[in-house]
A and B are shown apart, each in its own frame.
Chain A
Amino acid sequence: MTQDTLQKIPVTVLTGYLGAGKTTLLNRVLKENHGKKYAVIVNEFGEIGIDNDLVVGADEEIFEMNNGCICCTVRGDLIRIIGGLMKRSDNFDAILVETTGLADPAPVAQTFFTDEDVRRRTKLDGVVTVVDAKHVAQTLDDGGEAREQIAFADVILVNKTDLVEPAEIKSIESRIRALNPYAKIHLTDRCAIDLNHILDRGAFDLDRILEIDPEFLHDDHASDHGHDHEHNHEHRHDPNPVHSKDIRSVSFSTDRPINPQKFDAWVNDILMSQGQDILRTKGILNMAGDDRRFVFQAVHMMSEGAFTGPWPTSDNRGSRLVFIGRNLDEAALKQGFEACAA
């Protein structure tokens, strides 16, 4: 991963099950009078209501990269299409990638950290997941990629809220929170939303990861957030897909400063051994001996970290770390994290 984000074109990935409202959102982005020009990569032609020569059809092609990273899959079609778009003389401001309803977002995200040409010219801005308020509970119960899509997201639109009762929305929100503590959740009807909430988020810019939902972390201290999950002490991935139901998040915080070497060794070891199961990791850390905040993030095994600037206030420098994944051994991770104290 590189930190040089100058002049890179931001890419927003839209995921969500069929019928949740991805196309509605896409059409909204294209029709809104924002003065920006978007290149749109869609999985199926014909759904887009706008005739635009920058709408490109993609056939999802998953490539395994032989780069020593066992879980590293990328979207070969995106590498090809983005390479082609970069040759065009007419500039555009941003790229939107729509995935199929059944797609795992990880290969899409990993493409933007793996291919050198894609990385040089574009940057992943955020993963936006649209869910259908009426059906999301059932979809989550069924397992499959819906959990991945929510767990991976930076922004979640709970759409079609007019079709459900307010109490139901509360329960949907808490289920989403259990899978993903830091995504911004927006309740929408026909995907009506201020586009500033979904575009130009900088969700993967270390400089812009300012907080990891501290409110959630406070809740976490008070309750056992894994409301419908049991601890699973098998750490290795299991070929049985039923285990995908075990996606959840675990988060830790400590007021003691962290030893950078210990943290580096520990988190690398965790990501190398469990990176296939860990979808995303985010942390804001108070490293001993440094006045600046250290921000860490990972997509499966691909990680990066950097000091990004001063703490907002000098008296509150708590370190926070969140893992989202399956088969997470909360007790072992907590112990490991706490052992990183200086």
Chain B
Amino acid sequence: MVPADTHHAGRTRSFSFGDYVVGAASNGRVFGCAFGDGTVRLFDSLTPDAEPVCIKAHAGAALCISADIDKAAFLTGGDDGMLVHTSMLGEAKSLAEHKHRWVDHVTAHAGSGYRVYSVGKDAYVIPKKSAGEPRKLNHKSSVGGLAINPKGRRLAVSHYDGVSLWWLGAKDSGPTLLEWKGSHLQLAWSPDGTHIMSAMQENAVHGWRLSDGEHMRMSGYGAKVRSLAFTRKGHFLATGGADTVVCWPFTGGGPMGKAPAQFGDTEGVAVTAVAANPKLDLMAAGFETGAVILGQPGQDRTVSVAGGGGGSVTALCWNPDGDALLTGTETGEIHITDFRA
């Protein structure tokens, strides 16, 4: 534990666990974090002094985490082939098992009740009220990312050469394929559900406007983009992969032909994670040095948050009220910053 640093915004409590922070999610007042040793740790964002609940969820490494449709519960996938449900009470139960395979990605939508995870080329959809086998969605190549649209009805699956869009409720329907050459990874829906954006294996972002299939190509990054997030009203898409937070404008006809707004110039240190505040027009950005800043697209002024050291920021997550931020790094540092003070 490190005392709060008065030079930084908010009051921060820090932990050092030593295992790779695979990802983080928030569900109600609880932050869930998944680690490279297969543990899941749960932190109460409103009681920062409380000790985290630690659960051994996977035999090997956890690979992905999402808030579950249940309150204060999380879903994780691991290289032990398990999809695990972990509750705030510290109970872990297996929802699915794929022997000798990896559960690479997981997501869920509380409103519509769908849980989705992927194993290699297949995504599996588990509806809330269904006792039968999950619906299996096959793709030509391995799944690079999963994202359910804000309304909870459509699933975007990224893979090599594009993104497949599936209707979650239409059991026998096939996918709509949005094609673009290259390997597609992390996905982000615009808050109004009109655009789907993909961070690619190449140093680029590709996007589609769903109404007419119009392509958006965004390149010029010095590193892999890794992370992308729309500001809460969808005015900007903030992205990693550069030594400044590159924010593409989505107002007035979209980003085509426009220069991106930026904030946080760090001269050669790449942004590895971005997270939009759910209540304010504020973006958090984490860097490969472990540093975290808050800023707004096009505004010079940024605020430094605790952190720095501990290697790349690999997890960055706000609580739903937007007054607490969790930072996780590749060397197992966790910082929880409380901005209520």
Contacts and interface: CB of A to CB of B under 8 A. Distances in A.
Interface of A: 45, 53, 56-57, 59, 61, 63-67, 76-77, 79-81, 84, 86-90, 115-117
Interface residues of B, number: 32
B46 to A, nearest CB: 29
A274 to B, nearest CB: 25
Given A76-B160, A84-B79, A89-B19, A63 B183 contact: yes
B211 to A, nearest CB: 26
A89 B160 contact: no
Contacts of B224: 116-117
15 contacts: A53-B59, A59-B142, A61-B142, A63-B201, A65-B201, A65-B202, A76-B160, A84-B63, A84-B102, A84-B104, A89-B18, A89-B20, A89-B37, A115-B201, A116-B223
Contacts, number: 69
B142 A80 contact: yes
A115 B224 CA distance: 9
A88 B100 contact: no
B120 interface: yes
Given A84-B61, A116-B223, A77 B142 contact: yes
A87 B36 contact: yes
A191 to B, nearest CB: 24
Contact of B20 (A56, A77, A86, A116): A86
A174 B282 CA distance: 68
B201 A76 contact: yes
A181 B46 CA distance: 67
B60 interface: yes
A22 to B, nearest CB: 19
A66 B183 CA distance: 10
Given A76-B141, A116-B223, A88 B160 contact: no
Max count, chain B CB within 10 A of own CB: residue among A67, A87, A89, A90: A87
B36 A89 contact: yes
Contacts of A88: 20, 36-37, 60-61, 79
Contact of A87 (B20, B100, B202): B20
Interface string B106-137: 00000000000000110000000000000000
A207 B100 CA distance: 38
B183 A76 contact: yes
